[in-house]
């Protein structure tokens, strides 16, 4: 039988921040225990400690009444703890079965028993309703399936405690419901589930008990039968949060972006964008809702000039830029907050001022004659840091020294300050704290109110709904619906996102 699990006074400090500050947590055997909190509340750090990835500075772990210390994931696995990370830890070129049995391969005389491995994986998958083909190569599978592979890995290692870190982030509403079925079935088989999330609806749907974390402390233990989302939210934030609202209605102005029957190739030369046409006008936010991998990234990259166009046309303002280089698109009026701020949006090794000057390096503002004025570069960086509340001791510090939220502010500051007619914001708030989220939302709505056209791509449906003037739904490379954010609900959007409402598309 699965033992009870207790964490007592767990404390973990990183230079400059106390991620966990004496967290207590009691998890009863065989329950679904939700751990909720904002980004940065210490959820992932706490779970990394439980899984042996990090060592606590203080506090201890008690499993089934016995004090335990866990020094590595291996020890955690031996104790029956499995973890599904938010960023999957799978080997792309190996098969599902190879991923699952890795390091515990069934073998005969030193040779891997590949058929046996496949059979075991299929049996496990069938037992819990996790349909996967054991012989499929992982890199060819959609994200939803990858998650099942991760769960199978834990089950194969006989995990009795399963940690799921933000597991629904990659799922559509429909996939999510199926996923909830799976974890209920796992609970009913006697396993304990630790479910980390910040989505309150999910908590209410599956939790047997709830622990709320805030700023590295456990601030409440709640019974879902006796609480409300509002109460949880209050505990999470310590205050009542009023989400940013779309605000005034407006009349869109002239067209700042027009895309016609665009065709773009994606991974492996497959058609990723398949005849998309859309327009963005000054003074409106056009939201694109899509499940990851339905062509929205390729669409944005094609508009931004980072991916070649196979067919169709792109106009920014009144200039045709279908095959133009990035510099020309930027001159035509493009600014762009990319999805991957670490790799694309910033350079970790360069100073903050050098990060902030990209795109300005040829402007007279930063130059004296032919040469860059180092004083002007610094002044420019200081101004932006102040105006966009970027916290740093020096603009000469490397961008690597910034937190995720501050790093995103760098990108937002730079792209917003260009004052260009078209702004593309791709997953602008992914993984940043709630303060930064509100700030970025306000900036986007401000940009709209100042007559800029915004193309917003987000996996967060509530973000799409809160900010968009119109919602376009993309599915398998096509735009399958245009929806009015005031009249649709999440389930509707979700249905379109999975191709469930193809009528009229």
Partner 1 sequence: MPLAEQLLDASLWASVTRALIPVLLAAIGGMICERAGVFQISLEGMMLVGAFGAVAMAHVSGSATIGSAAAVMAAVLLSLILAFGAVSRDGNPIVLGIAINILALGITSFLLPQLFGVRGTFQPEGGVRIPRLLLPGLSELPFLGPVLFSLSFLGYVALVLVPLTWFVLFRTPVGLRLRGVGERPMAAETLGVSTNTYKYLAVIASGALTGLAGAQLALGNVGVFAENMSSGRGWIAVVAVLLGRAHPVGVLGACLLFGFAEAFGFRLQGQGLAVQITDAVPFVVTLIALVLARKRFTRLLDLSETKI
Partner 2 sequence: MLKAAQRGVTTAITHPVTLALVASFGLGGVIIAATGGAPLAAFSEMLAGGFTGRGLHNTLGRSIPIIGMALAVSLAFRAGFLNLGGEGQLLMGALAGTMVAITVPGPGVVVVPVALAAGAAVGAGWALLAALGQTHLQVPLLITSLLLNYVGRSITSYLVRFPFGAPGEPFATTVPVPEAGRIPRVTLIPGGRVSISLVFVLALAAVLAVLYRRSVGGYETEMVGLSGPFARYGGVNVRRHTLLVMAGAGAIGGMVGTHLVIGETFRYIDADMSAQSGIAWTGLMVSLLALNRPMLIIAAGLLFAGLQIGGFAMERATGVSWQLAQVIQALVIVALVSRFAVTWKRRRAEAQATAPDAPEGEDAHVGKV
Positions touching partner 1 (CB under 8 A) are 51, 53, 72-74, 77, 83, 85, 89-94, 98, 102-103, 105, 107, 110-112, 153, 349
**Considering only residues 188, 226, 240, 325, which one is a binding residue for partner 2 as defined by CB under 8 A?**
325
330 binds, among partner 2, partner 1, none (CB under 5 to 8 A by kind): partner 2
Q: Is 8 exposed, middle or buried (0-12, 13-18, 19+ CB in 10 A)?
A: middle
Binding of residue 477 to partner 2 (CB under 8 A): no
Helix (H, G, I), strand (E, B) or coil at 217: strand
Nearer to partner 2, 70 or 124 (CB): 70
- CA dist 207 to 151, 243, 466, Å? 18, 24, 27
The mark string for 359-388 relative to partner 2 (x by CB under 8 A, - otherwise) is: x-xx----x--xxx-x--------------
Rule CB under 8 A: choose which of 30, 34, 40, 179 binds partner 2. Answer: 40
**70 or 285: CB nearest partner 2:** 70
Q: From the list 252, 405, 428, 453, which residue makes contact with partner 2 (rule: CB under 8 A)?
A: 405
Binder of residue 441, out of partner 2, partner 1, none (CB less than 5 to 8 A by kind): none
Decide: is 16 part of the binding site for partner 2 (CB under 8 A).
Answer: yes
Distance CA 160, CA 163 (A): 10
Alpha helices in 456-498 (DSSP H): 461-467, 490-497
Q: Could you say whether residue 401 binds partner 2 (CB under 8 A)?
A: yes
Applying CB under 8 A, what is the total number of residues that bind partner 2? 62
Q: Does 317 bind partner 2 (CB under 8 A)?
A: no
Give the three-class secondary structure for 213: strand
Do residues 301 and 292 lie in contact, with contact meaning Cβ atoms separated by under 8 Å?
A: no
Of 13 and 135, the one with the shorter C-beta distance to partner 2 is 13
Could you give the CA distance from residue 432 to residue 413 in angstroms, rounded to a whole number?
15
Q: Which is nearer to partner 1, 87 or 225 (CB)?
A: 87
CA neighbours closer than 13 Å in the CB half-sphere of residue 213: 30
- CA atoms in the 13 A half-sphere facing the CB of 408: 23
Q: Residues 5, 34, 85, 259: which binds partner 2 (CB under 8 A)?
A: 85
* 443-472 footprint of partner 2 as x/- string (CB under 8 A): ------------------------------
The backbone torsions φ and ψ at residue 483, rounded to the nearest 5 degrees and listed phi first, read: -125, 155
C-alpha dist (Å) from residue 400 to 161, 353, 388:
35, 13, 18
Whether 186 and 163 have beta carbons less than 8 Å apart is answered as no
Asked if 412 and 423 touch (Cβ cutoff 8 Å), the reply is no
Residue closest to 63 by CA, chosen among 52, 86, 79: 79
Please report how close the Cβ of residue 478 comes to partner 1 at its closest, in angstroms.
28
Three-state SS for 161? strand
DSSP-derived letter for residue 345 is: I
Q: Does 393 interact with partner 2 (rule: CB under 8 A)?
A: no
103 touches which of partner 2, partner 1, none (CB within 5 to 8 A by kind)?
A: partner 1
Q: Which is nearer to partner 1, 74 or 127 (CB)?
A: 74
Rounded Cα–Cα distance for residues 338 and 353 (Å): 19
Q: Which residue ranges make up the site for partner 2 (CB under 8 A)?
A: 14-17, 19, 39-40, 43-45, 48, 52-54, 72-73, 85-87, 165-166, 304, 306, 325-327, 329-330, 336, 338, 340, 343-350, 354, 357-359, 361-362, 367, 370-372, 374, 398, 400-405, 430-433, 436
């Amino acid at each position: 039988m699965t033992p009870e699990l207790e964490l007592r006074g767990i404390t973990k400090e990183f230079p400059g921040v106390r991620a966990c500050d004496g967290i207590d947590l009691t998890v009863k055997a065989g329950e679904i225990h939700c751990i909720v909190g904002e980004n940065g509340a210490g959820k992932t750090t706490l779970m990394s400690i439980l899984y042996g990835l990090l060592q606590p500075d203080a506090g201890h772990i008690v499993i089934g009444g016995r004090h335990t210390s866990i020094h590595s994931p291996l020890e955690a696995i031996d104790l029956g703890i499995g973890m599904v990370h938010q960023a999957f830890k799978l080997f792309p070129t190996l098969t599902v079965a190879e991923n699952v049995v890795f390091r515990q391969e069934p073998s005969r005389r030193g040779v891997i028993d590949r058929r046996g491995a496949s059979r075991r994986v299929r049996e496990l998958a069938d037992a819990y309703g996790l349909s996967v083909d054991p012989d499929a190569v992982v890199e060819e599978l959609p994200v939803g399936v990858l998650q099942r592979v991760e769960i199978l890995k834990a089950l194969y290692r006989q995990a009795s405690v399963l940690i799921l870190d933000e597991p629904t982030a990659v799922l559509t509403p429909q996939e999510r419901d199926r996923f909830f079925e799976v974890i209920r079935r796992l609970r009913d088989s006697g396993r304990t589930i630790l479910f980390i999330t910040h989505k309150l609806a999910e908590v209410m749907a599956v939790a047997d008990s709830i622990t709320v974390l805030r700023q590295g402390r456990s601030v409440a233990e709640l019974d879902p039968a006796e609480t409300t989302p509002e109460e949880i939210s209050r505990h999470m934030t310590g205050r009542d949060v009023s989400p940013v609202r779309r605000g005034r209605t407006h009349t869109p102005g002239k067209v700042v972006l027009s895309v016609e029957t665009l065709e773009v190739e994606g991974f492996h030369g497959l058609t990723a964008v398949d005849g998309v046409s859309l327009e963005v006008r000054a003074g409106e936010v056009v939201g694109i809702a899509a499940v990851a991998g339905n062509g929205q990234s390729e669409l944005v990259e094609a508009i931004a000039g980072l991916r070649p166009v196979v067919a169709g046309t792109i106009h920014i303002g009144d200039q045709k830029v279908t095959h133009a280089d990035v510099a020309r698109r930027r001159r035509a009026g493009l600014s762009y907050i990319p999805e991957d701020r670490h790799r694309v949006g910033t350079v970790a090794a360069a100073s903050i001022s050098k990060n902030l000057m990209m795109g300005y390096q040829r402007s007279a503002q930063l130059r004296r004659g032919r040469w860059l004025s180092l004083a002007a570069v610094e002044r420019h960086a200081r101004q932006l840091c102040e105006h966009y509340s970027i916290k740093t001791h020096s603009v000469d510090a490397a961008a690597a020294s910034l937190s995720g939220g501050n790093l995103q502010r760098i990108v937002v500051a730079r792209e917003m300050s260009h004052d260009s007619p078209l702004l593309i914001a791709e997953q602008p708030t992914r993984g940043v704290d709630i303060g930064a989220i509100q700030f970025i939302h306000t900036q986007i709505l401000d940009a709209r109110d100042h007559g800029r056209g915004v193309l917003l791509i987000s996996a967060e449906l509530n973000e799409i709904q809160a900010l968009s003037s119109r919602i376009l739904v993309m599915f398998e490379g096509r735009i399958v619906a245009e929806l009015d954010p005031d009249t649709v609900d999440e389930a509707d959007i979700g249905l379109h996102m999975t191709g469930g409402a193809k009528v009229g598309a």
